[in-house]
Amino acid sequence: MSRTRVYAAADAALLRALADDRPITPERVTAASQDEEDEYDALLTAAEQGPVVVCAELDDEDGQIVLRDVQSFHVDADASGDLAWYAPQELAQVIALLAAR
């Protein structure tokens, strides 16, 4: 069974839920194809909807997201408009970035 990559906007509350090992069900964006440009467009679309983008791979694209599904977090860490990449293990740092704003 192939997994579907989704991009979901998240705020601090959703990130804390992930940190507490609780599932989240945010709105999500899927790429039109696996083409790199389509994936990037999906990432940017999700970024317009919230301060952090959660990139996850799911068996069911409409299913809940749990931390083990997360591939990365993307956040405009320095207000430059460029999204910085964070590993799932850096979730506490991403939450701290949001708290510092």
Q: Which residue pairs from 74-78 have beta carbons closer than 8 angstroms and sit at least 24 positions apart in sequence?
A: 74/43, 74/47, 75/51, 76/47, 76/51
* Percentage of the chain modeled with pLDDT above 70: 99
Kindly report, residue by residue over 52-73, the tens digit of the pLDDT: 999 999 999 899 999 999 999 9
Q: Tell me, what's the pLDDT at 25? A: 96
> Quick check: 61 and 28 in contact, CB under 8 A?
yes
**Distance, CA of 71 to CA of 56 (rounded, Å):** 5
pTM of the full predicted structure?
Answer: 0.94
Q: Tell me, what's the pLDDT at 2? A: 84
Structure tokens at 17: 């839920």
User: Which comes out higher in pLDDT, residue 16 or 61?
Assistant: 16
Grade residue 1 by pLDDT with cuts at 50, 70 and 90.
low
Domain borders along the chain are 4-99
